[in-house]
Amino acid sequence: MKILVDANVPAADACFGALGEVVRRPGREIAPGDLRDADALVVRSITRVDAALLAEARCLRFVGTCTIGTDHVDTRLLAERGIAFASAPGCNAEAVVDHVLVSLATLAERQGWRLAERRVGVVGAGNVGGRLLHRLSAMGIDCLACDPPRVEAEDLVAPGSGAPADFVDLDTLIDECDVLCLHTPLVREGPHATHHLLDAERIAALAPGTLLLNAGRGDCLDGQALRARLAGQGDISAVLDVWEGEPGIDAALRDLVELATPHIAGYSLDGKLRGTHQVTRALCRAFGLPCRVSLDELLPAPPLARLELGPGLSTEEALRLAMRAVYDPRRDHDALQRESRRQGMAAGFDACRAAYPLRREFATLEVALLEAEGQMAGWLTGAGFRVTTA
């Protein structure tokens, strides 16, 4: 069996090597000819799997994407051709939530406000948004959510629904929240289309002081309208990890947002390895093979396993210290600025992703509080850390 794999998929040899010949290609360079004799294709989000890519595929029986999102894959075409398909739902959701929380903490410090005093609106309450709502709620932060498809499917507004936040329509969310976090899939048609969900009209309706964060899909937000609001009134802030036109993103918009990162919110080693392992299991099922590698075998020990915090810290100071001990998004902001200027926007964007440094998740760190005060332990636990107290 020949398995063609995006070169940025980690542990590919450990996971797929026992199943057949593993051939690696950079995700944006995978071409129809590469699939001429491939039995399986394993990609990430930057490879568009459509009729053009599959034009010369004669033996292909399986396509897997090591990502939550699937809008880069023509799943209808695969079904028509009898090609098995698998994604990795939830694989990097925890990493994206880590990114969101530390970005919010960074902006709070930079702009002089307290996260505890803000109401956060989450648009899209699926794998990522749902986890974000649970963590924010566990920290005691006021939340609202907007997810019409989920409300319809689960009747979440009903008493006793178990939802971590009140569900409202999008315009109510915009009116009532200080922070908006977008975590929707890209849906171009239908009653719940999300393409330019935040269009020029809704961006204009954002109250002064609003922080807008998008770690979902770039096309769910009108980038030109956001650039105009930031450059004109300059009275709102933005954190963007996803962009229209990736990798050749809008340089002017990049320079206007507070944190600009190259679609790496979910790029923890833990999340990547979960994705590889989930797709490996799906491939084995598709070909009737045993899966002999476990996720625990793939995950190394974290470089920082324990952090001790002594007295004298406020809760938010302790939170920032613990978060940044694991991951600081300012590193990724600086890398995008540097590499996009050095190599050009598209090449620099992709270079940041291809050479992404080691990053673990909050859950890999034990935070030892030598003298916990007030709500500190609850906040740290709610944020996702393993907390011990003296």
Q: Which position among 44, 229, 263, 353 bears the catalytic label?
A: 263
Is 268 part of any known ligand binding site? no
Are the C-beta atoms of 265 and 239 separated by less than 8 Å? no
Is 13 part of any known ligand binding site? no
Is 267 part of any known ligand binding site? yes
247 prior amide bond cis, ω within 30: yes
- From the list 245, 239, 246, 211, the residue with the least C-alpha distance to 353 is 246
Q: Which position among 118, 183, 202, 217 bears the catalytic label?
A: 217
CA–CA separation, 18 and 181 (whole Å): 41
Is 310 part of any known ligand binding site? no
- CA atoms within a 13 Å half-sphere pointing along the CA-CB vector of 311: 3
263 is a catalytic site residue: yes
Is 328 part of any known ligand binding site? no
Paired tokens of 74? 């023509």
Q: Which position among 244, 246, 258, 361 bears the catalytic label?
A: 246
Name residue 145's beta-bridge partners: 122, 167
Kindly list the catalytic residues. 217, 246, 263
Binding residues: 45, 67, 147, 184, 241, 266-267
Task: Please give the annotated binding residues for substrate, written as ranges.
Answer: 45, 67, 267
